[in-house]
Amino acid sequence: MKNTDWKKKGDAVFAGTYSRFPAAMVRGEGCRLRDADGREYLDFLAGIAVCSLGHCHPAVTEAICSQAKKLMHVSNLFYTEPQTELAELLTANSFADRVFMANSGAEANEAAIKLARIHSGKGRFEIISLSGSFHGRTLATVAATGQPKFHQGFEPMPAGFVHADFGDSEELEKLINPTTCAILCEPLQGESGVRPLTPEYLQKIRSLCDKYNLLLIFDEVQTGMGRTGSLFAYEQLGVTPDIMTLAKALGNGLPVGAMLTRSEIAASFTVGTHASTFGGNPVAAAAGVAVMKTMLADGFLEDVRERSAYFIQRLEEVAAKFPQLASGVRGSGMLLALVLTEKGIEHGTDIVQQLFERGCLINFAGMRVLRFIPPLTVSREDIDQLINELSEVLGEVG
């Protein structure tokens, strides 16, 4: 069947929660996708920062197929080899020594919220997050999300969440009260426009948590797993959280999430306080093990940083060439944005659509930047192709 056939069939059966491109993707390899009409696309979306090793990475594919032949699911009433190995890899390469396995970023954040509340004790339940943040689509994680547009139609929001203005540590401190138990933030906000939190700001948040005996939760669902050039973004910032959440790239396409913390905090989760039927499923966990081993291999993250520097340079060239449309570049690793001017913002959606028609996939994040989140394995040649197509589109728009 063709793209038009799949679109017609899908529109007849799906809830209308997505605005989809008119293409049905049928195959992927590396940084390339192919649709039902046989058209190829250069993918700088990576399933929204998920397929960080590229589509159908051989090591991940082999791990999935091998595990699927042995054991698909038994629930967390039993131990499994892949889940245990994945937890060992996560703790051995982070600040944490305990892991709770989930299926998604929202679920990992739900676990973090519940752990923060139960660990902090009776009467302490409120969590402060930041304006512009994004933490998930469940009711609790939507309430934690500091973007009112995601709240609309779902009010009243669950109680216990307040939002501090982005970058204002003094205002944040004023929100702390006897019911506060934690501060939740992304080291770099992805969905609201690739907005980095400075090391100084994060260090101030860490000091406030220490001063008021609060837990610091880092949502690294998008920034984790090599996306910013280190395995976890916190490693570059001189700030260590008490709890960290992961998902997206952890399974390179299979649904798996994780909440990481220290033993003394994890001890507040006892038998029956939290659970997930599918969390750490053997097949998803096997994919996660393959992802971790690939990213931890000598030179992998160094190569990401080197190609990131090249990508930033090329994007800066674009910004300099089209100052009427773009004002600069921000982000780190392979989570980058071309910041648009007011005129550029007017054309943001159209720029993305024109690039799609040219066979290049990006998105318009926060209605203010063009966001680029390609596989970490993207080549210089792929980057050059994207830059050439982007330049032609901006030349037509401008």
The 10s digit of each residue's pLDDT in 192-206 is 999 999 999 999 999
pLDDT at 356 over 90: yes
- As a whole-number percent, the residues of the chain with pLDDT over 90 amount to 100
Task: Determine, yes or no, domain membership for 45.
Answer: no
Q: Is 354 annotated as a binding residue?
A: no
Residue 78 confidence (pLDDT) = 98
Average pLDDT over residues 53-67: 98
Task: Determine, yes or no, domain membership for 268.
Answer: yes
Average pLDDT over the chain reads 97
- 313 and 167 inside one domain: no
Task: Determine, yes or no, domain membership for 44.
Answer: no
Q: Is 221 annotated as a binding residue?
A: yes
Q: Is 43 annotated as a binding residue?
A: no
Among 384, 397, 285, 307, which Cα is nearest to 346's? Answer: 397
Average pLDDT over residues 196-223: 98
- 317 and 249 inside one domain: no
Task: Determine, yes or no, domain membership for 16.
Answer: no
Task: Determine, yes or no, domain membership for 2.
Answer: no
**The whole model's pTM is what?**
0.97
- 257 and 325 inside one domain: no
Contact of 34 with 26, CB cutoff 8 Å = yes
Contact of 112 with 141, CB cutoff 8 Å = no
Q: Check residue 71 and give left, alpha or beta (phi > 0: left; psi -120 to 50: alpha).
A: beta
Contact of 220 with 134, CB cutoff 8 Å = no
pLDDT at 398 over 90: no
- 88 and 228 inside one domain: yes
- 140 and 252 inside one domain: yes
- 287 and 327 inside one domain: no
Residue 305 confidence (pLDDT) = 98
Q: Which of 274, 296, 318 delimits the end of a domain? A: 296
- As a whole-number percent, the residues of the chain with pLDDT over 70 amount to 100
Total domain count, the chain: 2
- 122 and 160 inside one domain: yes
- 243 and 327 inside one domain: no
Contact of 376 with 52, CB cutoff 8 Å = yes
Q: Is 352 annotated as a binding residue?
A: no
Q: Is 105 annotated as a binding residue?
A: yes
Task: Determine, yes or no, domain membership for 39.
Answer: no
Element (H, E) at 320: helix 300-321
Q: Is 219 annotated as a binding residue?
A: yes
Q: Helix, strand, or coil here: 11? A: helix
Task: Determine, yes or no, domain membership for 314.
Answer: yes
Average pLDDT over residues 142-159: 96
- Domain holding 328, by residue range, is 308-334
The CATH code of the domain that includes 263 is 3.40.640.10
Q: Is 44 annotated as a binding residue?
A: no
Task: Determine, yes or no, domain membership for 8.
Answer: no
Q: Is 179 annotated as a binding residue?
A: no
Q: Is 218 annotated as a binding residue?
A: no
Q: Is 97 annotated as a binding residue?
A: no
pLDDT in tens, 81-114: 999 999 999 999 999 999 999 999 999 999 999 9
